[in-house]
């Protein structure tokens, strides 16, 4: 729970000592706080030839109220920004004293059709990266490679991954770098995702690749039985385009009911907390033995507590019955256990209970909630996977198998749920500071903490914020995906 090294090297004496010894100095990450502006400062805009997303980006910049500066690669930005009534200027490279002046770098690579055109990205990041401040944000935007018309275009768009992940590793200082592929027709569904990646809410999410498809339900995320139409209630003062839907960005989950499993403590409690802060009514579930902690967590949030064992055979029916009357809009499958042992020493019971609780129980519960229409159309499912499910891990054959299976669930169910406007995604936490990781032996814990671009572990709230983004009504175009919350951990597959 407690990274004392991080605190020490950010004290005046510790910083001096670390510098003289050449020790890593992890940045104190800026996280979202309700009492501070979420978006602030200068955002530099760059582009390759024929950028297709400028309209959407102008709407976004207007909506979040940042001031833009156009790099020379983005000549079309200035007149467009003027038409949108944005505060804008030109980026002057290599000015003395420009270091740290920028809060974000946004590059529209959507028009790049050939590998030779990638040099526009070099020009932009070469000029701007040193001017990006601590905990700054880098977002590269492209087209989904697999939907490109020619192999040359697919190749060039796919190449953006190598660049973005390298930028994340180079930038350090709490800076994140992510790549967002926007499908044709989805240009006006980008705001919820770009807000997340530009916000302090994504403090520990870096090196990720996210696709936004044109959603079946368009921008509202509200179809079928969703009566509360939260998506129509917000006000978007400055956004110029009539295509972009308006959300209440402060309370996007108002009127939504969210089930969170494993909600008593740790990451689950943080998820409940963040969803409630965004307006959701939280139904927290945990095992009967955690009832007191669950009640305490949920009482503060004015939610509903359910004490069930999700792995019990009767649990799906029991849960469906408990939720039937009011239904549910958001399901977060967070409950999970570990029973680590090398496979030669692992009992059949230890294997089976981990698979059952972490994976099979999710399958049974979703079947029950979907069959009964209890999870409403336009709903959101978010499952917690793990970096171990991606890369495998020593002593975790059962856990890694279950968490890889969660990825399969998300990939397999997304197309099936599309017609109902339901999205399903996974988050895969890396090293997160919890009671669980506090029990890891010191040397291994230190390695896990430092082997990422942030040189530190994440916080439960970081996982929770990523889940809230995926649960957002504006995330209708994001489905079937796995997003790591790992500070761009070195570890992967």
Residues of span 138-157 touching a second copy by CB under 8 A: 145-146, 148, 150-152, 154-157
Contacts for 404 with CB less than 8 Å, ≥ 6 apart = 385, 389, 390
Shortest reach from residue 281's CB to a second copy, in Å: 28
Task: Please work out the total of residues on this chain that contact a second copy, with binding judged by CB under 8 A.
Answer: 77
Q: Which is nearer to a second copy, 74 or 413 (CB)?
A: 413
SS3 category, 441: coil
186 vs 390 by CB, closer to a second copy: 390
The widest CA-to-CA distance across the chain, in whole angstroms, is: 68
Listed residue (85, 106, 355, 116) closest to 238, CA to CA: 85
Q: In b/e form, how buried is each residue of 136-157, taking b as 16+ CB within 10 angstroms?
A: bbbbbbbbbbeebeeeebbebb
> Nearest distance from residue 228's CB to a second copy, in Å?
29
Residue 83 contacts a second copy per CB under 8 A: no
For a second copy, the binding residues in 301-360 under the rule CB under 8 A are: 342-344, 346, 348, 351-352, 355-356, 359-360
Q: Select from 231-239, 270-278, 328-336, 397-405 the region that touches a second copy (CB under 8 A).
A: 397-405
Alpha-carbon gap, residue 429 to 439, rounded angstroms? 17
Q: 59 vs 153, which CB is nearer to a second copy?
A: 153
Instruction: Rule CB under 8 A: say whether 169 interacts with a second copy.
Output: yes
Q: Candidates 78, 277, 293, 490: give the one binding a second copy (CB under 8 A).
A: 490
Measured from the CB of residue 151, what is the shortest distance to a second copy in angstroms? 4
Minimum CB distance to a second copy, residue 456 (Å): 17
Min separation Cβ 407 and a second copy, Å: 6
Q: How far apart are CA 163 and CA 121, in angstroms?
A: 9
Of residues 356 through 375, those in contact with a second copy by CB under 8 A are 356, 359-360, 363
Tell me, yes or no, if 5 is annotated catalytic.
no
C-beta pairs of 86-93 under 8 Å, 24+ apart in sequence? 86/58, 86/61, 86/62, 91/44, 91/127, 91/128, 91/131, 93/127, 93/128, 93/131
Query: Are the C-beta atoms of 234 and 249 separated by less than 8 Å?
Result: yes
Residues 87-126 binding a second copy (CB under 8 A) are 114-116, 118-119, 121-123, 125-126
Which amino acids are annotated catalytic? 399
């Amino acid at each position: 729970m407690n990274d004392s090294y991080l605190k020490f090297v950010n004290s005046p004496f510790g910083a001096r000592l670390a510098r003289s010894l050449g020790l890593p100095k992890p940045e104190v990450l800026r996280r979202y706080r309700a009492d501070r502006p979420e978006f602030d400062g200068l955002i530099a805009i760059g582009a390759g030839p024929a950028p297709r997303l400028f309209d959407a980006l102008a709407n976004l910049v207007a909506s979040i109220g940042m001031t833009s500066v156009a790099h020379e690669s983005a000549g079309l930005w200035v007149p467009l920004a003027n038409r949108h009534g944005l505060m804008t200027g030109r980026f002057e490279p290599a000015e003395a004293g420009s270091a740290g002046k920028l809060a974000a770098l946004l590059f529209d690579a959507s028009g790049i059709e050939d590998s030779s055109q990638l040099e526009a990205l070099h020009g932009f990041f070469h000029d701007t990266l040193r001017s990006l401040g601590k905990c700054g944000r880098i977002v590269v935007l492209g087209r989904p490679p697999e939907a490109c018309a020619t192999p040359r275009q697919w190749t060039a768009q796919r190449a953006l991954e190598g660049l973005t992940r390298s930028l994340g590793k180079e930038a350090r200082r709490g800076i994140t770098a992510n790549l967002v592929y926007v499908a044709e027709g989805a240009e006006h569904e980008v705001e919820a995702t770009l807000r997340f990646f530009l916000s302090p809410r994504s403090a520990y999410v870096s090196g990720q690749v996210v696709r936004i498809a044109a959603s079946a339900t368009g921008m509202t995320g509200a179809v079928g039985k969703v009566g509360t139409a939260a998506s129509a209630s917000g006000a978007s003062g400055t956004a110029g385009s009539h295509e972009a839907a308006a959300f209440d960005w402060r309370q996007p989950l108002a009127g939504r009911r969210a089930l969170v499993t494993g909600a008593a403590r740790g990451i689950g409690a943080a998820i409940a907390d963040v969803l409630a802060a965004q307006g959701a009514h939280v139904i927290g579930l945990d095992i009967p033995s955690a009832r007191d902690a669950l009640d305490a967590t949920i009482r503060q949030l004015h939610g509903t507590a359910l004490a069930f064992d999700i792995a019990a055979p009767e649990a799906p029916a029991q849960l469906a019955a408990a939720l039937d009357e009011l239904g549910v809009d958001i399901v977060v499958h967070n409950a999970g256990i570990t029973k680590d042992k090398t496979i030669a020493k692992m009992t059949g019971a230890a294997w089976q209970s981990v698979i059952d609780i972490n994976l099979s129980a999710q399958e049974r519960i979703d079947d029950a909630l979907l069959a009964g229409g209890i999870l409403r159309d336009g709903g959101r499912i978010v499952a917690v996977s793990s970096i171990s499910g991606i890369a495998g891990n020593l002593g975790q054959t059962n856990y890694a198998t279950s968490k890889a299976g969660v990825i399969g669930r998300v990939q397999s169910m997304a197309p099936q749920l599309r017609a109902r406007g339901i999205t399903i995604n996974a988050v895969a936490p890396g090293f997160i500071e919890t009671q669980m990781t506090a029990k890891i032996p010191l040397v291994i814990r230190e390695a896990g903490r430092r082997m990422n671009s942030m040189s530190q572990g994440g916080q439960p709230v970081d996982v929770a914020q990523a889940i809230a983004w995926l649960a957002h009504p504006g995330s209708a175009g994001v489905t079937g995906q796995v997003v790591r919350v790992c500070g761009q951990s070195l570890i992967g597959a």
